[in-house]
């Protein structure tokens, strides 16, 4: 291929770092951006430029939001006694998309995986403890998926809660999740069913 003009190549290089983008799709997207009006392209660029500055981390659940607490944590109509633990924000988004869960959330920030240098200490356990110490939560639902890491993490969290917070019941999603499955990849109906038939552990 002929050498592309540097400004275009620069955009392509950035696009190529995004998930699912190869050299061809990056070129195609860069050309599509080029076809935008100058003001649309600038708005696009400005949105990316401001992304980090204009997002806050919700102090209660750990999700990204326009302000803290986020709209979910601040919603007075949601149940305050059930806490759903997810590994990452995208799992929360999938849960919310279905609209069948009406409790609270907390993001753990990963799953325990010694091989990937993710010891239990790397998770948001202090945030979890602080939340449970408030005394509002009666039930914790682990929505961590069905991987080895999810099982290890579920066991660890269960032990922690049973040891430190007597009286709080711990559930996991029913085993409708295929082995190896991650919550963020589950379809809405499977997720709804597995929440409905959650199992106490």
Nearer to Zn ion, 73 or 132 (CB): 73
Using the rule CB under 5 A, is 70 a contact of Zn ion? Answer: yes
- Least spacing, CB of residue 20 vs Zn ion, in Å: 28
Nearer to Zn ion, 28 or 127 (CB): 127
Using the rule CB under 5 A, is 73 a contact of Zn ion? Answer: yes
Binding span for Zn ion by CB under 5 A among 35-43, 72-80, 149-157, 184-192 = 72-80
The closest alpha carbon to 172, from 131, 136, 127, 141, belongs to: 141
Binding mask 103-132 for Zn ion (x = CB under 5 A): ------------------------------
Nearer to Zn ion, 9 or 71 (CB): 71
Using the rule CB under 5 A, is 172 a contact of Zn ion? Answer: no
Within positions 39 to 68, which residues make up the interface with Zn ion, using CB under 5 A? Answer: 58, 60-61
- Least spacing, CB of residue 181 vs Zn ion, in Å: 25
Residues that bind Zn ion (CB under 5 A): 58, 60-61, 70, 73
């Amino acid at each position: 291929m002929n050498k592309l003009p540097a400004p275009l190549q620069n955009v392509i290089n950035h696009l190529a770092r995004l998930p699912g983008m190869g050299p061809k799709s990056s070129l195609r997207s860069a050309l599509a951006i080029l076809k935008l009006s100058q003001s649309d392209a600038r708005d696009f660029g400005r949105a990316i430029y401001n992304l980090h500055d204009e997002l806050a981390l919700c102090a209660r659940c750990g999700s990204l939001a326009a302000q803290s607490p986020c709209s979910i944590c601040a919603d007075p109509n949601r149940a305050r006694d059930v806490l759903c633990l997810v590994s990452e924000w995208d799992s929360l988004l999938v849960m919310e998309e279905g609209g069948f869960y009406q409790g609270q959330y907390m993001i753990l920030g990963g799953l325990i995986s010694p091989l990937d240098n993710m010891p239990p200490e790397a998770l948001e356990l202090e945030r979890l403890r602080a939340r449970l110490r408030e005394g509002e939560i009666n039930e914790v639902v682990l929505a961590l998926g069905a991987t080895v890491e999810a099982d290890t993490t579920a066991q660890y969290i269960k032990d922690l809660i049973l040891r430190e917070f007597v009286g709080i019941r711990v559930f996991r999603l029913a085993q409708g999740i295929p082995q190896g499955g991650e919550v963020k990849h589950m379809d809405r109906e499977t997720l709804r069913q597995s929440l409905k038939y959650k199992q106490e552990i």
